[in-house]
């Protein structure tokens, strides 16, 4: 299996406000380095650098003004006299105005964010666009005939919606890849999110569309981040009604219950009969993940990949979350190894 990877991710490692404390972000460079080392150690396949894409490709799922914000945020922040990480700290919630883009960077940071888990640093934009280019390059490989590819994206993207960042995500790499697949001639694409956290960004971007079916297995938002999306009754709207499927699962979920939901989701994908499948691959479903509450074992990730392979679809795996760095390489590559063995 081809892996796409960019060293540019090292340019990004900010802080986050977690449990009321400012701390180095859990989403750290060692995650991608560990996965890459495992890809190489297992001989998964060739590793290629991404191509360089015009930012207009990101604007196929994000608004142009949001992409401009991401590109300019650090310069606007430093122009206002600050040199430390920028963080959103006020948001247009409830009856505050969300229809007028503030002119000052402190207002823009909250206008374009859902939480304080998204620091903007000097290297963030370069890392973020390289991550989206990794996903686009992986999708180009599928469009060129590859049966599968692994987009080793960092930072992740599945919490990013058309006009907001959050949960360590800035550009929605998987959504950008899914849209690129359609732009490349596909009629339908399925986006399956197996990260512990609900992929609110992918859901939001495709919610009113029937050409991308979005499915997510995740910690129940009643007591899991992102708390405000991912319920079972979110089934799409307009022409997208019936093309959005959420599988909220309780704390402590292990493989038996997880695989039951996965089988159901795969049944829906098979019935949808898409031209390709994009998988938002988070491995924070691991039993020892420091910020998540499922109980998957490393061997279960082999089974996860094998089950996805049974769909027999061209498949792009896009790296999302997973924070037990010691095990992230084994767990992420186990999905890919299981897929290749099962395919």
Ligand X SMILES: NCCCCCC(=O)NO
Q: Given the rule CB under 6 A, which residues bind ligand X?
A: 16, 18, 117, 159, 167-168, 195, 197, 225, 282, 284, 291, 320-321
First CA to last CA distance, the chain: 12
Of 32-40, 211-219, 232-240, 313-321, which segment contacts Zn ion by CB under 5 A?
313-321
Please, which residue, 140 or 220, has the CB nearer to ligand X? 220
Tell me the C-alpha distance between 198 and 279, whole Å. 13
Which residue has its beta carbon closest to Zn ion? Answer: 321
Q: Is 323 an interacting residue with respect to Zn ion (CB under 5 A)?
A: no
Size of the site for Zn ion (CB under 5 A): 6
| ω into 133 cis (within 30 of 0) | no
Q: Is 166 an interacting residue with respect to Zn ion (CB under 5 A)?
A: no
Concerning whether 159 is annotated as a catalytic residue, the answer is: yes
Q: Is 258 an interacting residue with respect to Zn ion (CB under 5 A)?
A: no
Cβ contact 124:74 at 8 Å: yes
Other CB atoms within a 10 A radius of the CB of residue 23 amount to: 10
Considering only residues 85, 133, 140, 195, which one is a binding residue for Zn ion as defined by CB under 5 A? 195
Considering only residues 164, 168, 196, 317, which one is a binding residue for Zn ion as defined by CB under 5 A? 196
Other CB atoms within a 10 A radius of the CB of residue 234 amount to: 20
Residues 6+ apart with CB under 8 A from 295: 252, 253, 254, 255, 287
Tell me the C-alpha distance between 89 and 114, whole Å. 10
Catalytic residue among 13, 159, 198, 245: 159
Of 90-98, 137-145, 174-182, 314-322, which segment contacts Zn ion by CB under 5 A?
314-322
What is the nearest approach in angstroms of ligand X to the Cβ of residue 337?
Answer: 22
Tell me the C-alpha distance between 285 and 259, whole Å. 12
Considering only residues 57, 154, 197, 209, which one is a binding residue for Zn ion as defined by CB under 5 A? 197
Q: Is 284 an interacting residue with respect to Zn ion (CB under 5 A)?
A: yes
Q: Exposed e or buried b for every residue in 263-287, given b needs 16+ CB within 10 A?
A: eebbeebeebebbbbbbbbbbbbbb
Tell me the C-alpha distance between 103 and 4, whole Å. 37
274 binds, among Zn ion, ligand X, none (CB under 5 to 8 A by kind): none
**Rg from Cα positions in the chain:** 18
Of 112-120, 194-202, 266-274, 296-304, which segment contacts Zn ion by CB under 5 A?
194-202
Q: Is 157 an interacting residue with respect to Zn ion (CB under 5 A)?
A: no
- Provide the CA 279 distance to its chain's centre, in angstroms: 9
Catalytic residues: 159
Interface with Zn ion (CB under 5 A): 195-197, 282, 284, 321
């Amino acid at each position: 299996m081809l892996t796409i990877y960019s060293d540019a991710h090292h340019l990004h490692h900010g802080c986050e406000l977690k449990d009321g404390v400012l701390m180095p972000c859990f989403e750290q460079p060692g995650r991608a380095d560990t996965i890459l080392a495992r890809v190489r150690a297992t001989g998964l396949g060739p590793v290629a650098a991404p191509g360089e894409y015009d930012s207009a490709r990101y604007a196929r799922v994000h608004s142009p003004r949001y992409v401009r914000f991401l590109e300019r945020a650090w310069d606007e922040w430093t122009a206002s006299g600050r040199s430390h990480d920028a963080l959103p700290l006020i948001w247009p919630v409830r009856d505050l105005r969300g229809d007028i883009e503030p002119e000052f960077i402190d207002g823009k940071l909250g206008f374009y964010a859902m939480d304080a888990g998204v620091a903007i640093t000097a290297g963030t934009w370069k890392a973020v666009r390289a991550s989206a280019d990794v996903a686009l390059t992986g999708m180009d490989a599928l469009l060129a005939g590859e049966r599968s590819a692994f987009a080793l994206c960092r930072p992740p993207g599945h919490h990013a919606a058309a006009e907001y960042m959050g949960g360590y995500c800035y550009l929605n790499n998987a959504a950008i890849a899914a849209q690129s697949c359609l732009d490349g001639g596909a009629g339908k694409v399925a986006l399956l999110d197996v990260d512990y956290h609900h992929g609110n960004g992918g859901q939001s971007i495709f919610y009113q569309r029937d050409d991308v079916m979005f499915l997510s297995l995740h910690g129940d938002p009643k007591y899991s981040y992102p708390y405000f999306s991912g319920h079972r009754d979110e089934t799409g709207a307009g022409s997208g009604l019936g093309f959005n499927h959420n599988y909220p699962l309780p704390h402590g979920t292990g493989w038996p219950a997880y695989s039951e939901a996965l089988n159901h989701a795969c049944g829906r994908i098979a019935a949808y009969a898409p031209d390709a499948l994009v998988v938002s691959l988070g491995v924070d479903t691991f039993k020892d993940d420091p910020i998540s509450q499922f109980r998957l074992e490393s061997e279960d990730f082999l089974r996860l990949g094998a089950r996805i392979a049974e769909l027999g679809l061209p498949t792009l795996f896009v790296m999302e979350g997973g924070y037990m760095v010691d095990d992230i390489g084994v767990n992420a590559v186990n999905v890919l190894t299981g897929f290749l063995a099962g395919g």
